[in-house]
Amino acid sequence: MLNDLVTVGRVRRPSLGVRTLPVGPELAAELRLATPSGVLIVQVLRGGAADRAGLRGGTERVYLGNVPILAGGDVIVAMDGDPVVDQGDIARIMNRRRAGDSVKVTVFRGAQKMDFNVVLGEAQDLR
């Protein structure tokens, strides 16, 4: 962070460029996922790091109770070998990275386990 402050005058926070939903055993069973836990990508932000790396968001509208979500996206299960079971895990991993760093993201796409090298983008300041 100090290097960012000195060189660009602000802290450049890393971004994966996804909107996610935590997956537990019940949701995994309901959605027929290949893994009992992880983080479901419901949306990949256009032009973001995940989009550039080829990660996929949801494409099928389903309802959790009365709440619609987009299912069918990749399920993140690890980043750089560290397990991911919820968004807090992603936040902890991202706190150790900078915009421009490369991370290995392990996902399930359907029943297939896949690795993607993702060059992290910069989180946009939402003022």
* Per-residue pLDDT reduced to its tens digit, 52-97: 999 999 999 999 889 899 999 999 999 999 999 999 999 999 988 9
Question: For position 57, what pLDDT does the model report?
Answer: 97
Residue 103 lies in a domain: yes
Residue 127, domain member (yes or no): no
Whole-number Å distance between alpha carbons of 4 and 65: 44
State the CATH number of the domain containing residue 84: 2.30.42.10
Q: Specify if 90 maps to a domain.
A: yes
Asked if residue 45 belongs to a domain, the reply is yes
Q: Determine the pLDDT at residue 12.
A: 60
Phi-psi region of 110 (alpha: psi -120 to 50; beta: other; left: phi over 0): left
Q: What pLDDT score was predicted for residue 65? A: 84
pLDDT at position 13: 76
**39/97 Cα distance (integer angstroms):** 19
Give the CB-side neighbour count of residue 89, counting CA atoms within 13 A: 19
Comparing 18 with 98, the larger pLDDT belongs to: 18
CB 64 within 8 A of CB 53: no
pLDDT at position 127, please?
32
| Whole-number pLDDT of residue 95 | 87
Q: How many domains does the chain have?
A: 1
Radius of gyration of the chain (CA): 15
Q: What is the pLDDT of residues 4-61, one digit of tens each?
A: 444 544 456 789 999 999 999 999 999 999 999 999 999 999 999 999 999 999 999 9
The strand pair at 75-79 and 60-64 is best described as unpaired
| Residue-range definition of the domain harbouring residue 107 | 2-121
Give one DSSP letter per residue of 40-103, joined into a string. Answer: EEEEE-TTSHHHHHT-----EEEEETTEEEEESS-EEEEETTEE-SSHHHHHHHHTT--TT-EE
* C-alpha distance from residue 84 to each of 17, 21, 36, 48 (Å): 16, 12, 12, 20
